[in-house]
Structure formats: structure tokens, C-alpha cells
Chains A and B, each alone.
Chain A
Amino acid sequence: MNFSFWWIVTYYFRSAVKWFLRKTTGLCELQRICYGEIRGPQRTHAIERSLSLSKHKHIQQLILQLNDISGKEEFLGSQKKQVLHDAVRAVLLAKQINPRIHRQFVINMGQCIEHIWGYKQLISEVERLRTTQYDCDNIEHETQLYNLWRMLKPDEELEGRITKQWQNIGFQGEDPKTDFRGMGLLGLENLVFFATFYCSAAQHVLTHSYHPQHGYCFAIVGINLTSLAWTLLKEGCAKSYVYNNIENEISLKMFHHFYCYLFYEFDRFWMECRPKDIMEFSNIKSKFEYNIRNYLKDPNNDFRIGVTVHNI
């Protein structure tokens, strides 16, 4: 009831309210958001919503163009600067805003556009990796697989490419290549990043995976968490995580960090649940997913991996 009421208000009376506010404040909605909301997820979310609801032809065209550029992963480097400059100019023209008076708007709007389409580009980038199948004839893929072993098991030599040792880091059989499945190269790159960048945290989690009762398969669970991270990114739930990282440029690395956060938190949750055996995985994973989705709803939450872990 409440929902439908607000839906009607936003749908039918939005224009009227906007017109009224524009007349009384002398500012358009985008300006009101840029000046009124604090920097970070709140502001970016509000700008994104306002742009997507815009009925202005030029704004709609701008959105399509930016979608196209980010979909082709061309929102990079010097080109990105130019695109951002042009995009903000288009908004200024469409909304008849004087950039000399509203300097702060130019800066804030640019940041928001950078975040919104940086996120969309990240989805394309991640999707490209996910749909790249692991190929054992590709030297780069194989090198990454060996790197994963070296980072997780620095004191143990691999006896060969096809060996039961892979099961020690949680693959299913003697050859990991069939375990990446629908997550493709993304699953491998996530694992390698976790083992390399958060070396001590990954070792800490790997040790848990050997627990006689609560143990699990490190790599297989890792690949299932790649699937979770990818789903959250694709559905837009990871926006609060990404938009919170205002100091860093949005890149694949950010997705890897998000994945590492999920893996570390999942391991903690799993150990807290004290499962009887691995057969409880889907149940515990569903609960974990529910908690994470809720946690991601609050943009003020902190998504860093526990500081203590770095020192273990």
C-alpha cells in the first residue's frame, strides 16, 4: 500500500514537484542533488536515478552514448577525460547551467558520471573475463594457475600438471581446468588476486578449509563465491561498495577486492555456523548471501577486510 502510494507520487507528480522546486530554489534536480547530498554512494545513486528518469531528449541521448562507450570498455585513460568533459558540457547545456557560477556542480557531476559509467564498464570487463573459458593450451592461463599454487603452497612443489595435489587447495580432481566452468577465467583471477594481494588472509582461510570437521574445498568454494560476487555486481547490489571507493579509480582490481572481502567474510561466517559437513554449504551460502545483500544496502558500512588479518 505504502509502496504503491509512493510509486504514484514519483511517477505522476514527479514533474510537478520538480517544477515547483526549480521555481523556488532556482536549481534543477541534478544541482540540488550535487549540492545537497554528501559525496559518495548517496549522491551517485541519486544522480543515477535522476538521469535515468529524465525526459529530456539530450539527456536520454547522452545516457545511450555513455552506455555504448562503457559497454565497449572505452571509458579509459585520456579518452575518459574527454568523454567526461563532453558529458558534463551536455548536461550544462541541457539544463542551462552557467559553469562559471556553478563550478562545484561541474566537479561533482563529473565525479558522479565517472562512477556510474565506471561501474557499467566494470560489469562489461568482468563479464568478458567470465565468458573466457579456461584454456590449458594458453600459456597465460596456465601460468596463472601455477602462480595460484605457488602463492598458496610456497613450500610444496607440484609434481606435475595433472596431479592429486590440486585437491590440497580445494580443486575437485587431478586437473583444475574443468572446475572453473561458468565462471571461466574470472574464477581463477579472483583466486590468484586473493592469494597474492591478501596473502596472509588467504593462508588463514586456507588453514580453516583443512579443519577436520568444518573443512571445505578452498578453490571450489572460491569459485562459488566468484559467482556470488558477479551476481551482486550485475544486479547493481555492489554499487554501494564501488561508489564508496571515491578515492580510487574503478577498475577490475576493485572487483577483486570486493571478492576477497566476500571470501574472507564467508569463511568467518562458515566457521561461526560450525557446520556438520560440506553438505550444509548451499544452506549457509544462502544465509550469507542474504546478510551481505542487507549489509550492502547501507552505504555507510565498511567493507574492508579486518585489519588484524594483515598481521597474522
Chain B
Amino acid sequence: MQGLLSLLRKLRTAPEKELRLLLLGLDNAGKTTILKMLASEDITNVTPTAGFNIKSVNSEGFKLNVWDIGGQRKIRPYWKNYFENTDVLIYVVDSADKKRLEETGIELYELLSDDKLQDVPLLVYANKQDIPESLSASELAQTLGLPTIKDRSWQIQACTAIQGVGVREGMEWVCKNIKKK
């Protein structure tokens, strides 16, 4: 059934390019809020993600299939099941959660060293900029060691997902990056 569906999809003349975006990050980083923001849905009733959510959004001539996978420790071992055919990796960080910066850094580097995610462009959302004690995007980039990444294009984007600030700018980078390819 699955095979037939994908065959049919390939046969259909695609008017727009489909992209697979993977949203990852620790629990409570704001992945589902960003996903709902992209789909223009109500963000006031977000619940912790058990498993994953998926939504398709049209943006700048692309059909973006966004996969939002739960971030809690118990679910992280399943992340790798969703790596295949990923076009862009979006990593969300709670910039105010200083206690877990190390943890989020370790998880990110584990992702970047995976073969299936080789050469996949990386967008990091430095979320929750509205909280006064949060790290700025450049501080976060330094802390996570992003400037040392040489094997792929990457970008860090400051955002406040609950207000919708910065989310679109990040997606513009995603679409621009794909067009260049």
C-alpha cells in the first residue's frame, strides 16, 4: 500500500517541490508551537508531544512537510527513524533554559554526526527571546559551537514562537537555501 502510494505520488506531475523538514530539540523547546505557528493554527492549547505531529504547509512555491518529533528523553532514541530523506534539519533551543544548554548541545552534535543527516542544512531557532534572561542568538551560537560547523550550511534565527516573531524569517532562509541547491 505504502509502495503504491509513493509510486502514484512520483507519477503525478508535481506543480511544486515537496520538502521534508525535521523539527527536533529537547522537550519544552517550542517545536510544536513553531509547527502550529507555521500552519497558522491556535498556539494557546499546545500539549506535550507524545510521539510526533506532522503538518504540510505551503511556502514560497514549496510544499513543506514538517515533522515535529517529541523531545523528551524517552522519545529521543526514535529520532533516527525520521532522518531519511530530510531536506532541512530545524533544531529548536529554549534560550532561557541555561541548565540544559549542555544537554541540548550534546543532542545536536549527535544529530550532526549521523550519516543519514550528512550535508543536510541546519537551522537553529533560538526560541523564547521574550524571556529577559534568555541568551541572544549569537551567544547561543557560540555556546553551541555553531561557527565550527564546516560540512553544511547553517543558520541561527532568534525567535519568540508564542508571538510568532522570527519564525517566518527562519523559513525564508530554509526556502532560499533549497533554491540555491
Question: Are chains A and B native binding partners rather than an unrelated pairing?
Answer: yes
Residues of A within 8 A of B (CB): 130-131, 167, 172-173, 178-179, 181-183, 187, 216-217, 220-221, 223-224, 226-227, 230, 277-283
Alpha-carbon distance between A278 and B78 when the two chains are bound, in angstroms: 9
Residues of B within 8 A of A223 (CB): 47-48
Partner of A224, one of B48, B54, B74: B48
Q: A220-B48, A278-B78 are in contact. List 4 more A-B contacts (CB 8 A).
A: A178-B28, A181-B46, A277-B78, A279-B75
> Smallest CB–CB gap between A267 and chain B, Å?
13
**In contact, A183 and B47 (Cβ under 8 angstroms):** yes
Q: Per a CB cutoff under 8 Å, which of B45, B48, B51, B74 touches A230? A: B45
CB–CB A182/B46 < 8 A: yes
Residues of B whose CB lies within 8 Å of any CB of A are: 27-28, 43-48, 50-54, 70-75, 78, 81
Which of A172, A187, A282 makes the CB contact (< 8 A) with B53? A282
Contact indicator A173/B74 (Cβ below 8 Å): no
Contact A173 B73 (CB under 8 A): yes
A282 near B52 with CB under 8 A, answer: yes
Given A182-B46, A227-B45, A172–B51 Cβ distance below 8 Å? no
Q: When the two chains form their complex, are residues A182 and B27 in contact, meaning their CB atoms are under 8 A apart?
A: no
Q: Which residue of A lies closest to B72 (CB)?
A: A172
Inter-chain residue pair count (beta carbon < 8 A): 67
Q: Across the interface, do A181 and B51 meet the contact criterion of CB distance under 8 Å?
A: no
B47 touches A227 (CB 8 A): yes
Residue of B nearest to A172 (CB): B72
* Contact present for A182 and B73 (CB under 8 Å): no
Interchain CB contact under 8 A, A279 and B47: no
The interface residues of chain B lying within 8 Å CB-to-CB of A221 are: 50
Beyond A172-B48, A182-B45, is A279–B72 a contact (Cβ under 8 Å)? no
Measured CB to CB, the closest approach of chain A to B46, in angstroms, equals: 4
Say which residue of A172, A183, A220, A282 sits within 8 Å of B45 (CB atoms). Answer: A183
Given the complex of chains A and B, what is the CA–CA distance between A167 and B46 in angstroms? 20
| CB atoms of B48 and A278 under 8 A apart | no
B48 touches A181 (CB 8 A): yes
Are A216 and B50 also in contact (CB < 8 A) when A172-B27, A178-B28, A182-B44 are? yes
Once the chains are docked, how many angstroms separate the CA of A118 from the CA of B145?
57
Q: Using Cβ atoms and an 8 Å threshold, which residues of chain B touch A173? A: 27-28, 72-73
Measured CB to CB, the closest approach of chain A to B78, in angstroms, equals 5
Across the A-B interface, the 10 shortest Cβ-Cβ residue pairs: A281-B51, A172-B72, A182-B45, A281-B50, A182-B46, A178-B28, A172-B27, A279-B51, A220-B48, A227-B47
Name the distance in Å between A309's Cβ and chain B's nearest Cβ.
23
Inter-chain contact B47/A224, CB cutoff 8 Å: yes
List 23 contacting pairs A-B, 8 Å CB cutoff, sorted by A: A131-B44, A167-B74, A172-B27, A172-B73, A173-B27, A173-B72, A181-B48, A182-B43, A182-B45, A216-B50, A223-B47, A224-B47, A224-B50, A227-B45, A227-B47, A278-B51, A278-B75, A278-B78, A279-B51, A279-B52, A279-B75, A280-B51, A282-B50
